[in-house]
């Protein structure tokens, strides 16, 4: 893990992290929605495409290789953080499986699912619920790979790490598809990061706004009218 300090990353140790060129800048307008296919039921609800589905898939393939380089020939327990992480986890596991089939190096994997819930509308709430994580004594002495879709303030990740550490795994690594640049990010950041993105509310590729937009392939910025339409 590496840390965010006074608005900047502390430079990671060699081999710690592989993502220094995947930063999406604050002033990047994203791709026009007209350039891509997306379901008609979301027309008007989105501002732009920030990470197209194909780019997510290509980046995921590379993260799988980085994980393979670091952890190859170790058994791992993949801890998929639902609901937002289901798509990234499924695609990442799929790529690791492909590498395991096609090289001499393999990673035997078990997959476990837990559910975290802390968002209402586009705001993080104080009460974080961890479901399906009551007894994870099977993690004792294991190499654990936590797979998350998005890391915002890092508070959720920090709470989850503390919870997992209590079960005494041998090693914990974290893969996060997205890391949001938020000023208050003082907690932990993932070992493997897909993209660092601006502090905007994004949806799609299993990320939701009040349970909507999980059925969208691309990662998009939600529009103000989209927020109004699905507000609760
Ligand atoms: N979108 C969806 N879920 C989230 C986000 C986001 O931008 N940040 C934290 N959880
Ligand atoms: Mg959510």
Residues flanking ligand 1, CB < 6 Å: 84, 119, 150, 152, 201-203, 207-208
CA atoms within 13 A on the CB side of 189: 27
The residues near 44 (Cβ < 8 Å, ≥ 6 apart) are: 223, 225, 226
Question: In this predicted structure, what is the pLDDT of residue 187?
Answer: 61
Q: Which ligand is nearest to the CA of 202?
A: 1
Read off the CATH number of the domain in which 60 is found. 3.40.50.2020
Has residue 153 been placed in a domain? yes
Q: Is 123 inside a domain boundary?
A: yes
- Tell me how many domains the chain contains: 1
Which ligand number lies closest to the CA of residue 129? 2
Residue 13 located in a structural domain: no
Tell me, yes or no, whether 63 lies in a domain.
yes
Q: Is residue 152 part of a domain?
A: yes
What's the 117 CA to ligand 2 centre distance in angstroms?
A: 7
Query: What is the number of alpha carbons within 13 Å of residue 92 lying toward its C-beta?
Result: 31
pTM: 0.90
Residue 225 belongs to some domain of the structure? no
Domain range enclosing 170: 55-198
Give domain status of residue 86, yes or no. Answer: yes
Tokens 């938020």 found at:
182
Query: d(Cα 40, Cα 44) in Å, to the nearest integer?
Result: 9
pLDDT in tens, the chain (232 residues): 444 433 334 444 444 455 456 899 999 999 999 999 999 999 999 999 999 999 999 999 999 999 999 998 899 999 999 999 999 999 999 999 999 999 988 999 999 999 987 777 888 777 778 888 888 999 999 999 999 999 988 888 888 999 999 999 999 999 999 999 987 665 678 999 999 999 999 999 999 999 999 999 999 999 999 999 999 9
- Please check whether residue 213 lies inside any domain of the structure: no
């Amino acid at each position: 893990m590496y840390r965010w300090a006074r608005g900047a990353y502390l430079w990671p140790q060699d081999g710690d992290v592989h993502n220094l060129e995947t930063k999406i800048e604050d002033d990047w307008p994203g791709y026009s929605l007209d350039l891509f296919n997306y379901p008609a039921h979301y027309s008007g609800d989105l501002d732009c495409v920030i990470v197209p589905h194909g780019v997510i898939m290509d980046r995921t393939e590379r993260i799988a290789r980085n994980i393979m380089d670091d952890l190859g020939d170790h058994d791992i327990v993949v801890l998929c953080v639902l609901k937002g992480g289901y798509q990234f986890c499924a695609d990442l596991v799929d790529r690791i499986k492909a590498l395991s089939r096609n090289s001499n190096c393999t990673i035997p994997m078990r997959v476990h699912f837990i559910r975290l819930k802390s968002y209402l509308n586009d705001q993080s709430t104080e009460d974080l619920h961890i479901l399906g994580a009551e007894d994870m004594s099977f993690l004792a002495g294991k190499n654990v790979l936590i797979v998350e879709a998005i890391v915002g303030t890092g508070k959720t990740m920090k709470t989850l790490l503390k919870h997992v550490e209590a079960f005494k795994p041998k090693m914990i690594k974290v893969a996060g598809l997205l890391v949001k640049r938020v000023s208050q990010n003082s907690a932990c950041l993932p070992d493997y990061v897909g993209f660092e993105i601006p502090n905007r509310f994004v949806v799609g590729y299993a990320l939701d706004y009040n349970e909507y937009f999980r059925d969208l392939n691309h990662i998009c910025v939600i529009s103000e009218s989209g927020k109004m339409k699905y507000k609760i």
